[in-house]
Amino acid sequence: MSEQPKKPTKKKVELDPRFVDYRHVWVCIESERGVVHPVSWELLGEGRKLADALGVELYGVVICGPGERGKEICGEAFQHGADKAYLLQHEILRDYRNEPYTKALTDLVNSYQPEILMLGATTLGRDLAGSVATTLGTGLVADCTELVIDTETRNLASTRPTFGGSLLCTILTQRHRPQMATVRPRVMAMPEPDASRSGEIIEVPFSMIETDIITKVLEFIPDDTRDKPNLPFADIIVAGGRGLRNQENFQLVWDLAKVLGAEVGASRPIVQAGWAELDRQVGQSGKTVRPKLYIAAGISGAIQHRVGMDGADVIIAINTDPNAPIFDFAHYGIVGNAITVLPALTEAFKARLGQLKKAG
């Protein structure tokens, strides 16, 4: 009689004793010339939930140059959920450079020992997060779509897309602290600011010699994006996918967007085909959006696209396939050919909006 194979047992991973006293949740507040990137407030909203689940305080970390609204930014952090804020101000920190910012943040972590540190997955945040995680020798999960606390182990379960967006995986940093994560803009909801909230500002000295820094700032040139699409902050988006079949039919998306005063979005295959510019791509490899209304025409709803738009308040899907994945999470669905449905919607909205204009 053959012996039944034993089921593998899940090995419990213990936290390294060096990190048992690490506590609190931190959010690095990204600012440039006194202007805060909105993803920082979104992360504070999420950080508030994590801190409450752990029974700890939420801290904002503000790194800037003198005269760049450091204390005002700390006050705004309190309004968005932070309990306290660390403020590091120095002339060397006026413009972002990897070396001094990495030193500032790693020194702060080593001194005050947070258990969770979050940054926005922006150009600056990605560069800084990787350097800080490497310097500290801890784990970093990039482009997270969900963050959940295991209250028994105090581990942060960070979920992100993988295999080109076809699957979602959840990653834990079990032995080391802080647990680090980056989150793209518009993935998390923007919290409502509470003007009655206040907190403690902890000013931390920073010292570094300019001659020790390899990179030098020669000039600051603002990015002119006036003529570029701004999908992440659009209230209405009409997006098209492969179901439109050709570039001429993609014009139907533009027609409806014009009537609604909407931005135009596209799935990855559309951008790869050259029918739309990269700034209009919605999904894991494009933009993450949270509009009030998202109309998806001829888009199947694969995970790669879904993670970029399922935070929309209302999703209307148009697809010929009644079994398309997008109907599993859309609020309203139209089973039909987008090539015929889009012109009908355009005319209907045009007529209705015209009636409202006359009545008003």
Residues making up the binding site for FAD: 242, 267-268, 281-285, 298-305, 319
Half-sphere exposure (CA, 13 Å, Cβ side) for 18? 8
**Spatial separation of the C-alpha atoms in residues 265 and 132, rounded to whole Å:** 34
Contacts (Cβ under 8 Å, ≥6 apart) of 305:
165, 241, 267, 268, 282, 283, 284, 299
At 170, list the tokens: 């959840």
Annotated binding site: 242, 267-268, 281-285, 298-305, 319
DSSP string over 173-242: --SSSSEEEEE-TTSSPPPPP-TT---EEEE------GGG-S-----------TTS--GGG-SEEEEE-G
Nearest CA among 51, 120, 136 for reference residue 288: 120
DSSP code of residue 287: B
CA distance 105 to 135: 10
Cα–Cα distance measured from residue 300 to residue 342, given in angstroms and rounded to the nearest whole number? 16
Residue with tokens 């350097």: 131
Which of 223, 195, 176, 174 is CA-nearest to residue 37? 223
Q: What are phi and psi of 36, to 5 degrees?
A: -90, 135
